[in-house]
Amino acid sequence: MKLNVDVLRYLSKEDFRVLTAVEMGMRNHEIVPSELVDRIASLKHGGTYKVLKNLLKHKLVHHDSSKYDGFRLTYLGYDFLAIKTMVNRGVFASVGRQIGVGKESDIFEVATEDGTILAMKLHRLGRVSFRAVKSKRDYLRHRRSYNWLYLSRLAALKEFAFMKALEEHGFPVPNAIDCNRHCVIMSLIQGYPLVQVKELQNPETVFDRIIGLVIQLAEHGLIHCDFNEFNIMIDDHEKVTMIDFPQMVSVSHRNAQMYFDRDVECIFKFFGKRFNLSFEEDADNSDSGDVEDGSRPSFSSINKADGFLDKELAASGFTRKDQADMDKFIEEDSAGGAVSDDEDDSTDLDEAIVRDTDALPLSEEPEQIHEGGGPEEVENRESTGASGSNELEAQNESDESEAQDRNDAELVKCLNKQRRRAISAAHGGHKPFTSRNSYKDKGGRSSHNSKIQKQMCNW
């Protein structure tokens, strides 16, 4: 759908209020009912249906009456909401021509109030040319239900986060300025896509620089996954800038090596065909795990210790297990073993104290109980010797027998309780359930006979 911003200047506050109401209703509705749109918009003087008719004329909403009368946002209406928000923030003041189109997005020129030209990227997932988003992208993660507008918003947020982080770590990427809904505002790169370049003054230098970017990304824990001539910008001074980041994954992804090798293969193939660079030596050394001058880089030989951008950005493939392993290496090895024995002893002691105090009668205190009796018995044991030990054994046996009798009594009590429950259930102790709609003979012959029987029983 073509973006025509001329309509934007003629839309009123009521139009944007109703558009926002439809967007809010789409959080839990595929098609938002008309009554719900009217209730959310809450226009002072009414007229929601008139505003919806105007929005429908400009193709900002789509009407669907197959199951019920309702509306949903189109990509054009979503564009207008994002552009209106950016203008209100003062990010830019005007929208210019379209400078790029892809299977997932459209790119336009925008200008600020002081005349600075920026780039506006509008994500448009769901086009006929690329609808396998759920299997080829990780925007959904654990979610099952989705719509294309929501997926476009997730893609924009992910790309904005990657651009910010890569810029902070010194990578040649556009300057990310702002993000809202499915719209990302970034600096405009003064250059050309590498696919449009026919000649280079130093193709070997550019090639080494691009391969170095692939290796540098992997060392920081990321893989581009779409690193080809379409996503590399080059200016007149042969300065390289990489773009398009929503599909980036972590080096811990299960297919990380395949994605890395594919990115490297795309660069080798393009420079070999376009600039006639020979890589015969690279084919011989490709199986070896070393990275030497003029050889093809290997995923297994890259030192992935320069940073953890996949952790910071929650890149696809960086699981909780990876997080636990990383924390395990960061912490000291001796932290776990020094405390384990003390903790086991303390827990055993606490359990023993709990068992002893729970077994005491409520009238006694724990301090008054001794293992072999009171202080007098201790003195008698010292004087009598062997006779005291016999008395101690006899007392221990009597205590054990009392505890066993107590346990037997509790067991018998529990069994009797279960037996009474079983007997009451067998005799129909529960009241029978009667339906509310069952026939009730109020004041009839059956009720009169039942009253007479009750009176005879009372006599």
C-beta separation of 252 from 216 below 8 A: no
Hey, what long-range contacts does 13-17 have (CB within 8 A, 24 or more apart)?
A: 14/41, 14/43, 14/47, 14/51, 15/51, 15/54, 15/55, 16/80, 16/81, 16/84, 17/41, 17/43
CA atoms within 13 A on the CB side of 179: 18
Within 10 angstroms of residue 87's Cβ, the number of other Cβ atoms is 15
Phi, psi of 253 (to 5 degrees): -65, 150
Residue 421 to residue 31: CA distance in whole angstroms:
55
**The one catalytic residue among 79, 106, 138, 226:** 226
Q: Which of 297, 315, 305 is nearest to 213 (CA)?
A: 297
Residue 420 to residue 413: CA distance in whole angstroms:
11
From residue 416, alpha-carbon distances to 404, 410, 411 in Å are: 18, 10, 9
Identity of residue 203: P
Q: How far is CA 251 from the centre of its chain?
A: 19
Residue 313 to residue 307: CA distance in whole angstroms:
12
According to DSSP H, which parts of 275-374 are helical? 280-285, 309-313, 320-330, 334-359
User: Residue 86: which H helix or E strand, with range?
Assistant: helix 75-89
Residue 308 to residue 219: CA distance in whole angstroms:
9
According to DSSP H, which parts of 90-131 are helical? none
Catalytic (active site) residue 226 = yes
Residue 14 to residue 34: CA distance in whole angstroms:
16
Within 10 angstroms of residue 263's Cβ, the number of other Cβ atoms is 24
C-beta separation of 289 from 352 below 8 A: no
Within 10 angstroms of residue 243's Cβ, the number of other Cβ atoms is 21
**How far apart are the two ends of the chain, measured CA to CA in Å?**
92
Catalytic residues: 226
